Chains A and B, each alone.
Chain A
Amino acid sequence: MSTLTKQTLSHLDWLEAEAIHILREVAGQCANPVLLFSGGKDSICLLRLAEKAFRPGRFPFPLMHIDTGHNYKEVTDFRDRRAAELGERLIVRSVEDSMARGTVVLKHAGESRNKHQSVTLLEAIEEFGFDACIGGARRDEEKARAKERIMSFRDEFGQWDPKNQRPELWNLYNARSHKGENIRAFPISNWTELDVWQYIQREQLELPSIYFAHTRPVVRKNGLLQPVTELTPAKDGDVVEDVRVRFRTVGDITCTAPVESDADTVEKILAETATTTITERGATRMDDQTSEASMEQRKKEGYF
């Protein structure tokens, strides 16, 4: 270390320090926050950051997952086990319960339940009176997210209004809300997919097995690999192939596609991520391909 240059943090240490600061601001400013934990890699990072922020104390918030009922078992099992290991409370609310209540109505039985998570999330926020939801969204994921605040205000209908966001200056976050309104807090806003994998490697974080290369029956459709599962069986005329794949994101089975890969370790995934030519969502999300503005639309409706 040169004596002339002031010592600064490495980029991962800086991102970690920023995320810890944001988590502590949520805990300090909000009366009843919750951390959204899906068992996916981004929220797995959030849990490690929460440990760094609050241990040896307990987390000042419970964990919650909005389950579409269409998640891979490897992921939901991992979710339950991780919450138990941490000794933190896990709340699971299900889109299927909203369907039973009649608040979610599918256009047809096979429709993806992904966007309907917004309804169940808003119902859970009301049920528990949460004033803030901490999520693992990143600004590099999608262009509607590039303009998202770290503390993002949602009105009592859970809506995000891109034209009416609070200015966010320095690191003076404003997480105030009135009853019924809600703050969405994104501690890893400034992380990229590569940063997430580097952090997973550095912290040696355990992940659900489907993030790593495995052989799975798939059908090639619209440039994506669609997994063949009980929920998404092959249709007449589909050519089913066994392909070595891994998932870059783990969402609802009906709208998340794996990518072809031999990467069966974090190191190999990192190497692939550093040299990939397709964006994370472009390669994997059928729901984002609907239109250029699909994420913006979902966010306005209360989606994460």
Chain B
Amino acid sequence: MSALEHLPEIDNGLLRFLTCGSVDDGKSTLIGRLLFDTKTILADTLNAIEKTSAKRGMSAVDLSLLTDGLQAEREQGITIDVAYRYFSTGRRKYIIADAPGHEQYTRNMVTAASTANLAIILIDARKGVLTQTRRHSYLASLVGIPHLVVAVNKMDLVDYDQAVFERIKGEYLEFAAKLGIRDVRFIPISALEGDMIVDRGERLSWYDGPTLLDILENAPAAHTEQAEDFRFPVQFVCRPQESANPELHDYRGFMGRVESGEVAVGDAVTVLPSGASSRVRKIELGGVALPRAIHEQSVTLLLEDEIDISRGDLIVKSAEAREPVKQIEATVCWLSETPLSPARTYLVRHTTREVKAKLAKIDYRLDVNTLEQEATTGLAMNDIARVTLKLAQPIIADRYTENRATGAFIIIDESTNNTVGAGMIG
């Protein structure tokens, strides 16, 4: 037998997803189950959690222990922060962002959601749709996660009753419509028993949809199926003038990642905010010339004309250029324990550009549980609000709902250099 037969053949790309729910919903057990049933957990890890489970007087292995992170958390029995887990099925690689579900952790959920393309929202079958379910769903839609999977867990505790599942589904759909959530799927599971996670099990025979893993395996890996404008923030300019190779003395490579859309050799491009135009002469990756570059690819662009471009500039297709703006309206999530100070100047990082910014006004703060708008003059940690910001220099602002990369920004407090806010333009 050839050694190569063992190799996983991953050809369906990489999917980043988020799990929302609290320990009580069985979130850790669900992740543990996914890792366990896809054989990601190795013997020594299993051995360690078996010992711990026994020490805590449990008869079966507690899969939730797999996602127990830091000493501080084990001591307090809580999750402090977003943790990232990995598994692979042979068809696809997965990155799970595991965010704690407690009331006060809006900031962690927003952080975890910002890089996810799918969210699993866990509901305890005994409890149905709760305030936190609404909050998680709202935040997932706010941060633009295109695909939601509502997993009704602990079906084993309601005798695998279809009526319970249908009732929760109905409740959820009612408020999902209000949020404008379109792509939502429902699945009954028991993370504890393993039903409908990787294996179908025998107790949910009335459910004829795909298992949770099937849903993950077939979800689109790209953030959007729509064609997007080409956006290429310049990260670094390569000018190897000191090179021993004289042919490189005039080399000017603009290095960055295609944040959205795609670009081909010969395309007419415009550099923003200057407005200078040229055409793409060459696209390189590691010294290899490419005819085109697609969404998420890191490449080097060479242009036909010598124009002044530096880090922070944005290269776009000329037909898709946009006017730079010095004022933006955005939804902001405040992330810092230090409240926003309306009088202070902050730093906004948008793509690879940093500009000074001041608060012009706060339109309202949103209660993430009731979705009601309330008047406010300041922002504290975990607050979500509609604000207007004035910028010292112009940026190229796309609406977040149209472009996740050029619609997002972070707010930095220059005195501590901490990231204190996350913003979505539009």
Contact = CB atoms under 8 A, between A and B. Distances in A.
B286 A10 contact: no
A266 to B, nearest CB: 11
A125 B286 CA distance: 29
B80 A178 contact: no
Contacts of B412: 174, 176
Contact of B408 (A15, A16, A147, A170): A170
A16 B257 CA distance: 11
Contacts, number: 210
With most chain B CB atoms within 10 A of its CB, the pick from A51, A58, A167 is: A167
A24 B422 contact: no
B286 A169 contact: no
A221 B10 CA distance: 37
B419 A166 contact: yes
A270 interface: yes
Interface string A1-40: 0001111111111111110110011011000000000000
B91 to A, nearest CB: 10
A147 B412 CA distance: 21
A66 to B, nearest CB: 25
B66 to A, nearest CB: 9
Interface string B85-128: 11010001101000000000001101100110000000000000
Interface stretch (B155-163, B266-274, B290-298): B290-298
Nearest to A19: B298
A172 B296 CA distance: 14
A18 to B, nearest CB: 8
Interface residues of B, number: 82
Given A144-B69, A147-B69, A192-B88, A282 B44 contact: yes
The CB with the most chain A CB atoms within 10 A, among B5, B70, B253, B405, is that of B70
A24 B8 CA distance: 31
Contacts of A176: 412, 417
A162 interface: yes
Interface string B1-44: 00111111011011000000000000000000000000000111
A272 to B, nearest CB: 8
A11 B83 contact: no
Contact of B349 (A16, A174, A277): A174
B42 A278 contact: yes
B81 A147 contact: yes
Interface stretch (B179-187, B237-245, B356-364): B237-245
Interface in A47-70: 51-58, 60
Q: How large is the interface on A (under 10, 10 to 19, 20 to 34, 35 or more residues)?
A: 35 or more
Contact of B286 (A51, A57, A272): A51
Nearest to A146: B83
A54 B84 CA distance: 28
Contacts of A16: 298
B240 A56 contact: yes
B13 A10 contact: yes
A268 interface: yes
Contact of B81 (A165, A177, A190, A293): A165
B110 A11 contact: no
B285 interface: yes
Given A167-B107, A169-B408, A282 B14 contact: no
A56 B221 CA distance: 32
A293 B68 CA distance: 11
Interface of A: prevailing SS = loop
Nearest to B43: A277
Nearest to A168: B111
Interface in A135-154: 139-140, 143-144, 146-147, 153
Contacts of A263: 3
Contacts of A222: none
Interface string A191-233: 0101100000000000000000000000000000000000000
A278 B47 CA distance: 10
Contact of A52 (B221, B285, B311): B285
B205 interface: no
A69 B75 CA distance: 37
Given A11-B13, A11-B14, A277 B42 contact: yes
B93 A279 contact: no
B255 A24 contact: yes
A287 interface: no
Contact of A15 (B14, B107, B235): B14
Given A21-B298, A56-B245, A143-B70, 4 more contacts: A16-B298, A24-B255, A54-B238, A146-B83
Interface of A: 4-18, 20-21, 24-25, 27-28, 51-58, 60, 139-140, 143-144, 146-147, 153, 162-163, 165-172, 174, 176-178, 181, 189-190, 192, 194-195, 263, 267-268, 270-272, 274-279, 282-283, 292-293, 296-297
21 contacts: A6-B224, A10-B10, A28-B352, A51-B286, A55-B286, A56-B248, A57-B239, A60-B236, A146-B83, A146-B84, A163-B80, A163-B81, A167-B419, A169-B110, A170-B404, A172-B350, A194-B8, A263-B3, A279-B45, A296-B70, A297-B71
Please list the 9 inter-chain residue pairs (A to B) with the smallest Cβ-Cβ separation, ordered nearest first. Answer: A282-B44, A52-B286, A271-B3, A20-B298, A293-B71, A176-B417, A24-B235, A169-B114, A11-B93
